[in-house]
Amino acid sequence: MKLITYLTFAGNCEEASNFYKDKLGGEIVYISYMGDGQMEVPEAVKGKIMHARLKVGDYELYMSDTFDPSTIQAGNNISLTLDTDSIVQTETLFNKLSEGGKIIMPLQDTFWSAKFGMFTDKFGINWMLNCETKKEPSLN
């Protein structure tokens, strides 16, 4: 399992990812745009970042734009991401960490071949859990 910081931007993720790449001496190892996926997205966000990964040394920083820029406020645009090793681990951690909090996106299968969910825990910390394998049996 890896713990990764995830930054969300109000439309300027590409600019921010290049800024951090240059200033931290990193490398953008993955980038996808909202218009590239299988989801229907408004025309205004098709050129915005769906997901970017910046590698800096042994660490990665994940970043994306949001569909609704009005939801971004200083402090709420940072999430902790757990990239888990198994679906069972993902489901267990999601259920434990979200207890007493607010589920934003229930844990579900996604078009990028992962089990994914989002919540804010009872302390106000934003979390994303992601497991990039669907080959294991689920607990549900």
In a domain, 140, yes or no: no
pLDDT in tens, 56-91: 999 999 999 998 888 888 778 899 999 998 999 999
Sole residue written with tokens 């999430």: 79
Count of structural domains within the chain = 1
In angstroms, what CA-CA distances link 20 with 49, 52, 55, 65, 77?
15, 12, 10, 15, 16
- Strands 102-109 and 115-120 turn out to be antiparallel
Inside any domain, residue 136: no
pLDDT single digits (tens) 24-43: 999 999 999 999 878 888 88
- Domain, as residue range, for 21: 2-131
pLDDT average, residue stretch 40-49:
90
User: Which is more confident, 140 or 49?
Assistant: 49
Q: Does residue 139 fall inside a structural domain?
A: no
In angstroms, how far is the first alpha carbon of the chain from the final one? 21
What confidence score (pLDDT) does residue 140 get? 47
Q: Residue 123's domain is classified under what CATH number?
A: 3.10.180.10
Model pLDDT, residue 11? 92
